[in-house]
Amino acid sequence: MATYYVDNSVGGPGAGTIGNPWDDLESNFNATGAPGDTFYIVGDALSPRDYNEGEVTLNTNGTAANRITIAPAPGTLVCWKRGAVDDTFDVQGDYITIQGFELDCEAQSRNAITIDGDYVSIESCTIHDGSYDQLVRIRGDYATITGCTIYQNDDGLKDAVGVLLDGSAGTIISYNTIYDCKGDCIHLWNNLPNDAVTIEYNELYTTLGKCSETGIDIKDVGPNQSIIRYNILHGFRACDGSCGGTGQLAGPAIYIHMVAENILIEFNIIYDSTTGIEFN
């Protein structure tokens, strides 16, 4: 288990040490990373330092006992940005934790993070302003999204989702604030089956009125029970498709439809929405 440092201000390959850091994450993570390693990204103390390596693909695995962690160096702030391609991070490895970053898609990249590996955790990140589709896309199993702030801040006609599950089992989405997404705050898509998902202790809302769709849209989940509990949802209105979301829904905070089954909904607070919970 080792600790490595990446600093994009050094202008050379480096050795990954605090005194001689690497200048990029992707190549060194995939060539050197091993279970239990920590990769510190050196930022600035007062405002986030920008990093843009293009699409960062992470394909090294940790283990259940020894996860690999990527985080800003202690006492520094880091903002990952990128150009007009799909992902800021494509996490293909298992047992990887990404924590403490700002991810600004700059209304260009489609996704801030795509999770293809299993047991990936995204913690305490601020993720915002994708161009379309979703800010976080989960295709692996047993992911955890916790303590994050996820939002859209763009005025364009973009049906963007905060967190989208696309064939994921055992995922937990908890203690996040997700708001002003012109699509849904959380969407369980029917492209591939999802199962045994837990959505709890989140605040999901919109200030965009008819320009947003729903707080939670579940099209496909089951057969094992999924749970929606202890969430706060508010601000949803009938969406007419004229300024963002395309669902043309009647304003539900939670919408359960298509092939979704075996869902427990309990202890949520829902207010200031046209419809609370809609089953179709």
pLDDT in tens, 171-224: 999 999 999 999 999 999 999 999 999 999 999 999 999 999 999 999 999 999
Using CA atoms, how far apart are residues 188 and 85, in angstroms rounded to an integer? Answer: 23
Please give the DSSP secondary-structure letter assigned to residue 72.
E
Query: Per the domain annotation, does 73 fall within a domain?
Result: yes
Lowest mean pLDDT among 41-45, 137-141, 249-253: 249-253
The total number of structural domains that make up the chain: 1
**What's the mean pLDDT in 264-275?**
97
Strands 186-188 and 269-271: what pairing?
Answer: unpaired
Q: Is residue 56 part of a domain?
A: yes
pLDDT band (50, 70, 90) for residue 11: confident
Residue 204 lies in a domain: no
CB 31 within 8 A of CB 17: no
**Cα distance between residue 122 and residue 129, in whole Å:** 17
For 36, the 3-state DSSP assignment is coil
> Which of 40-44, 202-206, 237-241 shows the lowest per-residue confidence on average (mean pLDDT)?
237-241
Q: Could you tell me if residue 46 is inside a domain? A: yes
Residue 14 has pLDDT above 80, yes or no: yes
In a domain, 15, yes or no: yes
Could you list the residue range(s) of the whole structural domain that residue 64 is in? 1-131
Residue 139 lies in a domain: no
- The average confidence (pLDDT) of the chain is 94
